[in-house]
Amino acid sequence: MRTHWVGLLLLLLLVGLLGSCAAPKTPVVSAPPPPPPPPQGVFVLLPDPDGKVGQIEISNPSGSQVLSVAGQATTVAKADAPPSAPVKMSDPEIAGIFGPALGALPPPPLRFTLFFESDSVELTPDSKKLLPQVIEAIKERRAVDTSVVGHSDTAGSKEYNYRLSRRRAEAVARLLVAGGVAPDLLEITSHGKDNPVVPTGDNVSEPRNRRVEVTVR
C-alpha cells in the first residue's frame, strides 16, 4: 500500500514535470513571459470556532516553518523547496480559495457530560435532569452518530475502572434508548481512567472525572 502510494505520487509529479516541459511553437512576436507556476502547496492557520489559535508546523526535507498566528500562511513551491516564511492571508483571499471546503466542514459535535456518584452507575441528581436535553439534542440534530463514552477517576485499578466506566456508558445508553433514541445510532465505549477531564495523580477521587460523555454528531 505504501509503495503504491509513493509510486502514484512520483508518477503524478513526473507527469506534472513532463507536462510543463512540452514547449509550444514559438510565435514570431515574442509573448509576455508566462506567469510563474502557483506553489504546489499552501498551508494556512485559522482560529478554532471558539477563537483559540493553535500551531502548525510544515516540514519537508528542505526546511520547516511554524505558524502560530491566525491568518498566517506558508507556501511550498514544490516538494524539494523549503516552506516559505509566513505571509498574511486576508479573509477574502482565504474565502476565495477555501470557501467551499470551509463551507462543507461539519459543525463541531455537541457534547454533554453526565456525572455519577462514587463507585456507582447512578447519575447525580443534576445529571438526571440533563438527560431529557440530551435526548432532545440527538433528535433535533438528526444525529448520524452518537458516542457514549464512560470515564472514571483514577481511584482504583485500571481494569476495575475500565469495567465501571463501561457499565456507566451502558446505563446511559439504556436511558437514551428508553427516551426514544434509536439504539443503532449509539456507539458505547469505555476509556477507563485514561482520559480524565481534570488531570490528577493516580488513585485520586475526583468527581469531575466520574462521567459519561455523550457526543452528538
Interface with other proteins by CB under 8 A: which residues? 5, 9, 12-13, 15-16, 19, 38-49, 52-60, 67, 76, 78-79, 81, 83, 94, 97-106, 108-109, 144-145, 147, 162, 187, 190-192, 194-195, 215, 217
Residue 145 or residue 202: which is nearer to other proteins going by CB?
A: 145
Residue 69 or residue 178: which is nearer to other proteins going by CB?
A: 69
CA dihedral (65, 69, 74, 79) in degrees, to 10, reads: 40
Smallest gap from residue 129 Cβ to other proteins (A): 25
Residue 94 or residue 124: which is nearer to other proteins going by CB?
A: 94
Closest CA to 217 of 149, 124, 163, 165: 149
Place of cell 500562511: 73
Residue 33 or residue 49: which is nearer to other proteins going by CB?
A: 49
Please report the DSSP string for 129-171 in residue order: HHHHHHHHHHHHTT-S-EEEEEE--SSS-HHHHHHHHHHHHHH
Smallest gap from residue 128 Cβ to other proteins (A): 26
- DSSP state at residue 29: S
